[in-house]
């Protein structure tokens, strides 16, 4: 089993234990799940070396369960836990906002066991009657059920390693001369429904034979001479098409742009006397004109060939020149990380050393300060001690460590940190964590009031958690304008479960300045930084729009100017 599959089961065990009212154990499984989730190495290799218990948060008991999952693909303990509960936790848990506590409450009060029960309770307006819920949550439940029935979607950051592994394996076949992943994955959408892979080969049947028998395949949905579909063990569907070399560019173009982009491009083709499809660009009398590369198609049509991330028909087809977007690898460091000083898994030194090994020039430590519901938020006395540790490490390590804090924005817009300490810190990253259900006017005022302080960054601005929590109600235009006015950088939190801001919102906030942050709670979370670069590209940002691309001296000057 892959890392993310094992992590998912560990998270679900934590939920099941919480539903049964078990104390302490759920947190242990959550910590173990985060460790596995953030591993950059295949956990099976770690197991083979006998080093599972050396991983943070993984003791003998959990290590034995991981071993069982690796060896058999199943876990008796997990299945037994599910059998003990009367409700369908797996299905109910797919609805945003339906965590263990809410599932338990709905069962105890309304006997909700299934999605059908949940839908019925919502339609009969019984959910709004429960204390602490209300009409909005009831409406969100119905919306979540509707989305769930459309089919599962997968978080981009979590499926990327697996998708790239499959691409690499296919690319190594001697029969394959070119291979690329297309679709929303190539556009780097935050969530994808399936994966489309295109390959060039003169022996497609051999490629298909290898594809359907790959170790990651659970079911073969369809097998043909040039097209096949499989489902992986994690439920993700992969479609492979083998095309001729002269069709590769046109197929890649066709399967990359969203529907609106492709419709508009076909209109442009018709206006020039051509037809465009996945097989190429043709004259009206069906003579092939172009298709070996995407670039030659766009050029023939007199249209700028923009990066895949931009192909969503939001003005890119009217551009006169290729925009200079931030590149992958341009970011020189990270503006939000957490350590063992609050709720992280690794020390400051471990995080900084890992960042240094990645070639970064800086890292920012932003452990939690305030009333956020974690076990170990910092107070000002502990901030003083942390500052001393960072000062020592800055003298010893060849990387700049900025001392920051992720500070709670309280209900009235004040920060959970004194003015004195706001001035002392290199980076004040202000975020909303509590009282998230405020009305639009109140939430907008709360966030704007906070940015009047010495705030460098507005953390995960909308507060959304993909597939778990909707964004806060707020007027984003007013928030963006307030950020511009107060020289506050907008955070692009590139943790796979947040991706906040999203690409469309970044584009709408053009004129603001931005930072990228992994929100990493351990060394292996640092590799998510490229997801932030992807979001920035989707928002049409250049390197100069993103503070992470600046030199350390330039960053120090910008931060010190607050």
Structure tokens at 475: 């007027």
CATH topology of domain 260-318: Beta Polymerase; domain 3 (3.30.210)
- pLDDT band at 26, cuts 50/70/90? confident
CA angle 165, 167, 170 (to 5 degrees): 110
Taking only the tens place, the pLDDT of each residue in 161-173 is 899 999 999 999 9
Average pLDDT rounded to a whole number, residues 250-260: 95
Residue 128 confidence (pLDDT)? 84
Taking only the tens place, the pLDDT of each residue in 98-128 is 777 788 888 888 888 888 888 888 888 888 8
Helix, strand or coil, per DSSP, at residue 547: helix
Residue 139 confidence (pLDDT)? 82
Average pLDDT rounded to a whole number, residues 129-142: 80
* DSSP collapsed to 3 states, 318-353: HCCCCCCCCCCCCCCEEEEECCCCCCCCCCHHHHHH
Model confidence at 151: pLDDT above 80: no
Q: How far is CA 169 from CA 104, 110, 162, 164, 185, in A?
A: 44, 50, 11, 9, 18
Burial (0-12, 13-18, 19+ Cβ within 10 Å), 222: exposed
Burial (0-12, 13-18, 19+ Cβ within 10 Å), 544: exposed
Q: With contact defined as beta carbons under 8 Å apart, do 69 and 32 qualify?
A: no
Residue 423 confidence (pLDDT)? 94
- pLDDT band at 268, cuts 50/70/90? very high
The CATH number fitting domain 333-560, selected from 3.40.250.10, 3.20.20.140, 1.10.1370.40, 3.30.565.10: 3.20.20.140
CATH topology of domain 3-148: DNA polymerase; domain 1 (1.10.150)
Q: Which CATH superfamily is domain 154-243 in?
A: Beta Polymerase, domain 2 (3.30.460.10)
- pLDDT band at 36, cuts 50/70/90? confident
Average pLDDT rounded to a whole number, residues 335-363: 94
**pTM, whole model, 2 decimals?**
0.78
C-alpha 484/C-alpha 331 separation (Å) is: 22
Q: ω before 158 within 30° of 0 (cis)? A: no
Place of tokens 């499959």: 166
Q: Where are the domains of the chain?
A: 3-148, 154-243, 260-318, 333-560
Helix, strand or coil, per DSSP, at residue 398: coil
Name the more confident of 21 and 493.
493
What is the DSSP code string of 157-183? Answer: HHHHHHHHHHHHHHHTSTTEEEEEE-H
Mean pLDDT of the chain: 91
Choice among 44-48, 141-145, 202-206, 268-272 with the minimum mean pLDDT: 141-145
């Amino acid at each position: 089993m892959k890392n993310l599959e094992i992590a998912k089961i560990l998270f679900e065990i934590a939920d099941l234990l919480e539903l049964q009212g078990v104390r302490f154990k759920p947190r242990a499984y959550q910590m173990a799940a985060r460790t596995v989730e953030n591993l950059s190495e295949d956990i099976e290799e770690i197991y083979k070396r006998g080093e599972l218990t050396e991983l943070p948060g993984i003791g003998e008991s959990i290590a034995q369960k991981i071993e069982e999952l690796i060896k058999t693909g199943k876990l008796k303990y997990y299945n037994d836990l599910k059998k003990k509960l009367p409700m369908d936790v797996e299905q109910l848990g797919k609805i945003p906002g339906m965590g263990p506590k809410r599932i338990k409450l709905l069962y105890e009060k309304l006997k909700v066991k299934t999605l059908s029960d949940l839908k019925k309770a919502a339609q009969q307006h019984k959910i709004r009657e429960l204390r602490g819920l209300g009409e909005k949550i009831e409406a969100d439940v119905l919306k979540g059920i509707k989305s769930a029935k459309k089919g599962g979607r997968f978080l981009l950051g979590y499926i990327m390693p697996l998708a790239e592994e499959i691409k690499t394996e296919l690319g190594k076949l001697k029969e394959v001369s070119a291979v690329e992943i297309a679709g929303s994955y190539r556009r780097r959408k935050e969530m994808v429904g399936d994966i489309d892979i295109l390959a060039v080969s003169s022996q497609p049947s051999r490629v298909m034979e290898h594809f359907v028998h790959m170790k990651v395949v659970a079911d073969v949905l369809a097998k043909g001479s040039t097209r096949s579909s499989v489902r992986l063990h994690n439920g993700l569907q992969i479609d492979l098409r083998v095309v001729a070399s002269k069709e590769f560019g046109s197929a890649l173009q066709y399967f990359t742009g969203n529907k609106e982009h492709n419709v508009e491009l076909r209109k442009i083709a018709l206006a020039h006397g051509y037809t465009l499809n996945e097989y190429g660009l043709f004259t009206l009398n069906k003579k092939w004109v172009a298709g070996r590369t995407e670039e030659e198609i766009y050029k023939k049509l007199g249209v700028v060939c923009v990066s895949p991330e931009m192909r969503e028909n939001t003005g890119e087809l009217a551009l006169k020149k290729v925009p200079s977007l931030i590149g992958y690898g341009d970011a020189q460091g990270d503006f939000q990380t957490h350590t063992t000083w609050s709720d992280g898994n690794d020390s400051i030194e471990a995080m900084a050393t890992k960042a240094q090994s990645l070639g970064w020039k800086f890292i920012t430590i932003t452990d939690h300060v305030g009333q956020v519901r974690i076990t170990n938020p910092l107070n000002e006395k502990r901030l003083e001690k942390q500052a001393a540790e960072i000062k020592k490490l800055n003298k010893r390590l060849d990387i700049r460590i900025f001392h920051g804090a992720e500070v709670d924005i309280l209900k009235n817009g004040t920060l959970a940190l004194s003015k004195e300490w706001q001035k002392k810190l290199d980076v004040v990253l202000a975020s909303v964590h509590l009282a998230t259900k405020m009305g639009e006017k109140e939430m907008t005022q709360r966030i704007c009031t906070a940015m009047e302080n010495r705030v460098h960054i507005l953390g995960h601005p909308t507060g959304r958690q993909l597939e778990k929590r909707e964004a806060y109600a707020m007027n984003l235009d007013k928030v963006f304008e307030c950020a511009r006015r107060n020289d506050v950088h907008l955070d692009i939190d590139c943790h796979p479960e947040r991706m906040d801001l999203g690409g469309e919102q970044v584009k709408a906030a053009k004129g603001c300045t931005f930072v990228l942050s992994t929100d990493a709670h351990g060394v292996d979370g640092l590799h998510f930084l490229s997801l932030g670069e992807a979001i920035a590209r989707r928002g049409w940002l250049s390197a100069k729009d993103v503070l992470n691309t600046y030199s350390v001296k330039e960053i120090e000057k910008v931060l010190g100017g607050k």
